[in-house]
């Protein structure tokens, strides 16, 4: 219940006037019950998280996520995208949703350990590009003046969100383990039952850059209430420095591992001949061999795939058809 209003006493009025005249009373100071009370102003939509605590570790988590999530989009786009993170931004959900188009992919997921939720927002041109490229189309942005996704696009959205969830879980684990579970999906921001319109959210935006294609972005949105249980961890510079150190070390290790040269080969045939015949072999002799419809594809000495023989522009080639369990 709100406190009943009352008039300031003459003593309080005098103290207020004297403070304003002398400059001792700042704009961030008020008088209550005859005492000076300090306060801070908060501007909605600001990207200054220090008003809610310095969420420095969240920035590091986003940077790590941006570097790692490329592995989700590489199989879809068939090129290595460059993904960067923007600083987290605090705003009301009403302010955020009012800036979205009427047609978006909005996936609501639960974060079990934090007893809260998160929202993954993908624009339709982003989904269309990934879908077209995945099925052999050109890497270009097409007009998406539609009101619903196709069944094929829905499958791609599911693949993207599953990949994003796994990468997020890995990005958070050095700070605190989380598990992300799908809850619901909407295509119209008006029907996305996420939080109340007046609730504060933290918007983490990521931009994707591709060759000869305009940049595109997608968002991951956390309600402020979801992150409050770990706010002390997100503010911790010591923990953040450990995360940053781990990220640098792991990135260097990953880069070094990916540059290790590996020998790949495919054996077309392994004929068996007697010693007596082998001793009679001379230059110019022809030896018949049997080539099966499928051949084995090796990485080092390990058999990894079944493959089929073929030809491209006069050059022999193989097409990998089945991955073998190792």
Enumerate residues 6+ apart whose C-beta is below 8 A from 126.
Answer: 208, 216, 217, 218
Res. 48 pLDDT band, cuts 50 70 90: very low
Least confident of 10-14, 100-104, 176-180, 218-222: 10-14
Span 171-196, mean pLDDT?
90
For residue 167, pLDDT beyond 70: yes
Tell me what pLDDT residue 307 has.
87
Q: Using CA of residue 91, residue 92, residue 95, residue 96, what is the dihedral sign? A: positive
Neighbouring CB atoms inside 10 A of 246's CB total 13
Tell me what pLDDT residue 192 has.
81
Span 44-62, mean pLDDT?
65
Tell me what pLDDT residue 319 has.
84
Res. 140 pLDDT band, cuts 50 70 90: confident
Question: 302-312 and 213-223: which strand pairing?
Answer: unpaired
Q: Which long-range contacts (C-beta less than 8 Å, at least 24 apart) are formed by 313-319? A: 318/266
Percent of the chain topping pLDDT 70: 78
Percent of the chain topping pLDDT 90: 33
Categorise residue 136: left if φ over 0, alpha if ψ from -120 to 50, beta otherwise: left
Neighbouring CB atoms inside 10 A of 258's CB total 7
**Which domains are assigned to the chain?**
11-41 (no CATH), 49-258 (3.40.1550.10), 264-280+292-323 (no CATH)
For residue 227, pLDDT beyond 80: yes
Res. 41 pLDDT band, cuts 50 70 90: low
pTM passes above 0.85: no
Half-sphere exposure of residue 161, counting CA atoms within 13 Å on the CB side?
Answer: 25
Span 230-241, mean pLDDT?
67
Tell me what pLDDT residue 152 has.
92
Cβ atoms of 217 and 206 closer than 8 Å: yes
**Could you give the CA distance from residue 141 to residue 161 in angstroms, rounded to a whole number?**
20
For residue 236, pLDDT beyond 90: no
Span 303-307, mean pLDDT?
87
Tell me what pLDDT residue 46 has.
47
Span 214-224, mean pLDDT?
93
Phi, psi torsion values for 205, nearest 5 degrees? -100, 145
Integer CA distances (angstroms), 18 to 9, 12, 22, 91, in order:
14, 10, 6, 37
Mean pLDDT, the chain, whole residue set: 81
Span 12-19, mean pLDDT?
62
**Could you give the CA distance from residue 266 to residue 296 in angstroms, rounded to a whole number?**
6
Q: Which residue has the higher pLDDT, 127 or 233?
A: 127
Tell me what pLDDT residue 36 has.
58
CA 71 to chain centre: 10
Q: Provide the 3-class DSSP secondary structure of residue 83.
A: strand
Residue corresponding to tokens 């594809």: 297
Span 208-216, mean pLDDT?
88
Helix (H) or strand (E) holding 239: helix 237-258
Cβ atoms of 103 and 187 closer than 8 Å: yes
Tell me what pLDDT residue 233 has.
82
Res. 51 pLDDT band, cuts 50 70 90: very low
Span 266-277, mean pLDDT?
83
Span 245-261, mean pLDDT?
71
């Amino acid at each position: 219940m709100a406190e009943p209003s009352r008039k300031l006493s003459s003593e309080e009025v005098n103290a207020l006037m004297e403070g304003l005249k002398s400059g001792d009373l700042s704009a961030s100071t008020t008088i209550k019950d005859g005492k000076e009370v300090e306060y801070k102003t908060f501007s909605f939509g600001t990207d200054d998280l220090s008003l809610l605590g310095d969420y420095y570790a969240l920035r590091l988590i986003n940077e790590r996520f941006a570097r790692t999530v490329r592995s989700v989009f590489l199989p879809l786009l068939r090129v290595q995208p460059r993904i960067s993170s923007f600083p987290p931004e605090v705003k009301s959900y009403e302010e955020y949703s009012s800036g979205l188009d009427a047609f978006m992919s909005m996936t609501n997921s639960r974060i079990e350990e934090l007893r809260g939720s998160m929202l993954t927002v993908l624009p339709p041109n982003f989904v269309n590009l990934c879908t077209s490229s995945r099925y052999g189309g050109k890497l270009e942005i097409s007009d998406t003046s539609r009101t619903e996704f196709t069944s094929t696009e829905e499958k791609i959205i599911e693949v993207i969100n599953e990949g994003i969830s796994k990468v997020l879980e890995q990005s958070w684990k050095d700070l605190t383990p989380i598990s992300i579970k799908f809850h619901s999906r909407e295509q119209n921001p008006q029907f996305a039952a996420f939080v109340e319109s007046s609730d504060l959210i933290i918007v983490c935006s990521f931009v994707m850059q591709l060759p000869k294609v305009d940049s595109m972005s997608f968002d991951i949105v956390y309600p402020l209430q979801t992150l409050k249980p770990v706010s002390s961890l997100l503010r911790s510079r010591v923990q953040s420095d450990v995360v940053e150190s781990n990220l640098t070390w792991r990135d260097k290790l990953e880069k070094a591992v990916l540059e290790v040269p590996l020998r790949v080969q495919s054996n077309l045939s392994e004929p068996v001949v007697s010693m007596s015949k082998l001793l009679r072999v001379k230059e110019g002799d022809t030896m018949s061999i049997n080539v099966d419809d499928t051949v084995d594809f090796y990485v080092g000495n390990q058999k990894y795939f079944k493959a089929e023989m073929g030809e491209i522009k006069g050059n022999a080639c193989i097409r990998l058809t089945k991955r073998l369990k190792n």
